[in-house]
Amino acid sequence: MRKFSTKVIVFCLCTLLAVSGIAVTAFAQNPDENEAENQEKQEIREIPETASAADDAGVSKDETVYVLARADGSVQKIIVSDWLKNSLNNAAVSDRSELTDVENVKGDETYTMDGDDMRVWDAQGNDIYYQGNIEKELPVDLNVTYKLDGKPISADDLAGKSGRVTIRFDYQNKQYETIEIDGKQEKIYVPFAVLTGVLLDDDVFTNVDVTNGKLINDGSRTVVIGIAFPGLQENLGISKDKLEIPDYVEITADANNFQLDMTVTLATNEVFNEFDADSFDSVSELRASVEELTDAMDQLTGGVESLKNGASSLDTGAAELSEGLNTLASNNDTLNAGAKQIFDTLLSTANTQLAAAGLNVPTLTVENYAQVLNSLIASMDENAIYQQAQTQVTAAVEAQRGSIEQQVTVAVREEVTAQVTAAVRGEVAAQVTQNVRNTVAEQVIQLGLHMDKASYDAAVSAGQINQETQGQIEAAIEQQMQSEQVLAQLQAATDTQMATQPIQDTIAAKTSEQMQSDAIKQTITEQTELQIQKIVSEQMASNEVQAQLAAAGEGAKSIIALKSSLDSYNVFYLGLQSYTAGVADAAAGAETLKAGTAQLSAGASELYDGLNEFYEEGIQKLENAADGDLDELMTRFRATRDVSLRYKDFAGASEDMDGQVRFIYRTDAVE
C-alpha cells in the first residue's frame, strides 16, 4: 500500500499547497518529535457534524495575531487585530474578546461592557476594526536555533561570525481535540500550515540549501520559503516509512560576517477548511475494482506456478497460458486508444473552458497540462498577491517612518510636559500655601493674644500657653485657610508663580531631561512601531486589497479543481498503460515458453518471476491500498478537517459568530 497511499496523500497535500500558494517538491527525513506534551491544550469531544459557515447574527470575525518574538522565537509581545464583518449592517454588535487595551483603529464607534469579556459595539451598521494586547499561550510554538560549523550557538554570539551556518525553525502544535476514531480516543491537532519566509543577502550568504522549502534568487538576494505541517503526521496516522510530513524548516549556508534581517512566519488552518470531505467517498468503488484485478492475477500466477512445477503437463499449460495472454494482449491497442480518446476529450473541454474565461495559455496536451496549469495557478495565487500587496503597503508606510516617529514624539512630549507641569505646580502650591499660612497665623495670634508669632512660638516652647489655647489658635488658623478669600488667594498666587519665566524654564528643562531618558526613548520606539503596524493592518484590510485577494482565490480554486480532475484521470491512464505493457510482456514470454521443450523449464521460471514482479510492483500495491487502512486514512482526513473548522479564533468570539484566525510571527534581526 505504501506507494499508492503516498500518491493519495501527496495529491491531497499538493492541493493544500496550491491553495496556500507554496509548492514544495520534496519532504526531508527524520523531523523531531513534538515535545512538552503535558503543556498542550486539549478539548475532549466526539466528532460532531461539520459546523455551518453561516452566521445567524450576520457578524463574523477575521482575526490576525501578530507575535513579536526574539531571534530565538521566544515571545515578547502579542498584538491582535480583529475585523468584525457586519454583513447585515446591525446597529449594535456583541463581541466576546479577552483583549486588553482595546482600541478602535478605523472609526469612532465605541463600546460598553456587558459581562465578562463581552463588548457591545455601537456599530451604526459599520464594520468594526480594533486591536488590543493579550497574554495567552499560542497554539503553535516557534523555536529558532542556530549552529556554526555544526556546533550550537546563540543568535547574539553568531552575529559577525563566518562559516557554515544552520538556521532551524521548529514548530510545535499544542492545539488539539481528543476524538473517537474506530472506538479509540485519538489526538487530532488543529491542522496548521506554517510558512516561514527569510531574506538572505547574497553578500553575506552563499551556497544556500533548504530542507522542506524552496529558494528564489533575484541576483542579489535569496528568498527562502519553507513550509511545515506540525501535528499532521499524527493526525493521519501515517508511518514515516511511507511518507514523512515536515514539521520543521532548516536552512544551511556559507556565511561571511553573519547578519540576518527579521524573519516572518505565517501559521493558518484556513487552507484545510477548503477540503470537501465528500471527495473522499470513492474507496468502496476502488476496492471493488482492485479485488477483481487481484483475483485474476492470483489465478494467472497460480497457473504459471503449476506450469513450473508440473513438467508432465508443461506443454499443455504453456499453450493455455499463451492463448489466454494473447487474448488479453489483443485488446491492448483498443484499451489504450479508448483511454487516449477520453483524455483528449477532457483536455479539449478544458481548453474551451480556459479560452471562455479569457485566459491565454498554451493548448493543453497529455504531456504539458500539469506544467501549464501549475504556472497558471501560481500566477493567480492569493497568497502571492497578498504578499505582494503587503510588501508594497509596508514599504509605503515605512517610507513615512520619520514623519510617524515625529508625530509620536510630539504626542509623548505633550504627555511628559503635562506630567512635569503637574509635579512643579504641586511644589509651587505647597510653597505658596506655607507662606500664606504664616501670614494668617501672624494675624490670628496678634488678634487673639496681642503678641507676634515669634513671641507666641517662644511662649509655647516655654510652656506658658496651655493646650486649649493652642488648639483654639490652630482651629482659627485652619478656618481662615479654608475661607473662600484665602483659597482664591492661594489659587491666584500659584497661577502667578507658574506663569513666571523661572518656573517655565524649570518645566522646560525637566521635560527635556525626561525626553532624553532611555525609558522615554523606548516608549517612542514602541509607539512608532505600533502605529506603523496599525496603519499596515488598516490598509491590508481595505476593500481594494480584499477584492484583489478574493478574485485571485476564486480563480485559483477553479484551476486547481480542473487540474485535480485531469490528474485523477491521468493516474488511471498511466496505470492502464502499465497494465497493457505488462500483459504484452507476459504474452511474449508465454509464446517463448511454448517454442521448444529444451528451453521450456527455463522459460517457465522466467515467466513465473516476471509475473510475480508485475504483481508485486503493480496489482499487489493496488490491493494493499484498498485494505482497511485506507478507510482509516479517509476517516482521519475528515476528522482533521472537522477540527480545523471548529478552530476559529484565538482571543475569543461569541458562540454564534463565525470566523477565521491566522498567526504572524516576526523575529528580531540578528546584527
Per-residue pLDDT at 133:
94
Best CA proximity match to 481, nearest among 449, 445, 444: 444
Q: Average of pLDDT values for 492-497?
A: 89
pLDDT digits (tens, 9 = 90+) for 543-564: 777 776 666 666 667 777 777 6
**Separation between Cα atoms, residue 662 and residue 65, nearest integer Å:** 6
Is the predicted pLDDT of residue 621 greater than 80, yes or no?
no
According to the model, what pLDDT value does residue 599 have? 43
- Is the confidence at residue 410, as pLDDT, over 50? yes
Mean pLDDT of the chain: 77
pLDDT (0 to 100) of residue 597: 38
pLDDT band at 670 (very low <50, low <70, confident <90, very high): very high
Alpha carbons within 13 A on the beta-carbon side of 456: 19
Question: What per-residue confidence (pLDDT) applies to 391?
Answer: 86
Contact (CB, 8 A) for 114 and 120 = yes
Q: Name the 3-class secondary structure at 485.
A: helix
Stretch among 492-496, 523-527, 604-608 having the lowest mean pLDDT: 604-608
Q: How far apart (Å, rounded) are the C-alpha atoms in residues 98 and 115?
A: 12
CA atoms in the 13 A half-sphere facing the CB of 461: 6
Which residue has cell 496550491? 18
Contact status, residue 226 vs residue 213, Cβ threshold 8 Å:
yes
Burial class (CB within 10 angstroms; exposed 0-12, middle 13-18, buried 19+) of 82: buried
Assess whether pLDDT exceeds 50 at residue 169. Answer: yes
What DSSP assignment string belongs to 436-468?
Answer: HHHHHHHHHHHHHHSS-HHHHHHHHHTT-S-HH
Cβ pair 657, 86 in contact under 8 A: no
More confident residue, 148 or 542: 148
Question: 341-349: long-range contacts (C-beta < 8 A, 24 or more apart)?
Answer: 342/569, 343/569, 343/570, 343/573, 346/565, 346/566, 346/569, 347/566
Whether the pLDDT of residue 635 is over 80: the answer is: yes
- Cβ contacts of residue 456 below 8 Å, gap of 6+? 445, 449, 465, 473
Per-residue model confidence (pLDDT) at position 139: 96
From 354-363, 372-381, 593-602, 627-636, the region with the lowest mean pLDDT? 593-602
Residue 426's CB is within 10 A of a number of other CB atoms, namely 11
- Is residue 592 over pLDDT 80? no
> What integer is the mean pLDDT of 372-394?
76
Instruction: Return the HEC string of 371-434.
Output: HHHHHHHHHCCHHHHHHHHHHHHHHHHHCCHHHHHHHHHHHHHHHHHHHHHHHHHHHHHHHHHH
Task: Note the pLDDT of residue 516.
Answer: 92
Asked whether 385 and 548 are in contact (CB, 8 A), the reply is yes
How far out from the chain centre does Cα 305 lie? Answer: 57
Report the relative pairing of strands 163-173 and 151-153 from DSSP bridges. Answer: unpaired
**Residue closest to 82 by CA, chosen among 527, 547, 654, 649:** 649
How far CA 392 is from CA of 82, 286, 355, 398, 539, in Å, comes to 22, 49, 32, 10, 11
- pLDDT over threshold 60, residue 279: no
Assign 297 a pLDDT band (cuts: 50, 70, 90): very low
DSSP annotation of 260 reads B
Rounded to 5 degrees, φ, ψ at 285 are -65, -40
pLDDT at residue 406 is higher than 50: yes
Q: Tell me what pLDDT residue 190 has.
A: 95
CB contact at 8 A, 231 and 245: no
pTM: predicted TM-score of the whole model, two decimal places = 0.47
Do 59 and 65 contact (CB within 8 A), yes or no? no
What is the mean predicted confidence (pLDDT) over 225-231? 93
pLDDT digits (tens, 9 = 90+) for 433-486: 988 889 888 888 888 888 888 888 898 898 888 998 888 888 988 898 898 888
Question: What is the bridge-based pairing of β-strands 163-173 and 175-181?
Answer: unpaired
**Burial category of 215 from C-beta neighbours within 10 Å (exposed 0-12, middle 13-18, buried 19 and up):** middle
Q: What is the mean pLDDT of residues 153-158?
A: 96
- pLDDT higher than threshold 90 for residue 349: no
pLDDT over 90 at 329, yes or no: no
pLDDT of residue 447: 87
For residue 526, pLDDT beyond 90: no
Query: What pLDDT, on the 0 to 100 scale, is given for residue 591?
Result: 62
Query: In this predicted model, which residue has the larger pLDDT, 615 or 129?
Result: 129
Residue 487 has pLDDT above 50, yes or no: yes
The three three-digit cell numbers of residue 479, written as one number: 478656618
Over residues 69-91, the pLDDT tens digits come to 999 999 999 999 999 998 888 99
Question: Higher model confidence: residue 167 or residue 350?
Answer: 167
Q: What percent of the chain has pLDDT over 70?
A: 71
What does 556-608 look like in DSSP terms, one character per residue? HHHHHHHHHHHHHHHHHHHHHHHHHHHHHHHHHHHHHHHH-GGGHHHHHHHHH
Q: Mean pLDDT, to the nearest integer, of 210-221?
A: 89
Strand partners, 226: 196, 213
Is pLDDT at 346 greater than 90 in this prediction? no
Average the pLDDT over 418-432 and give the result.
Answer: 88
Domain boundaries, the chain: 56-278+653-667, 282-394+541-646, 401-518
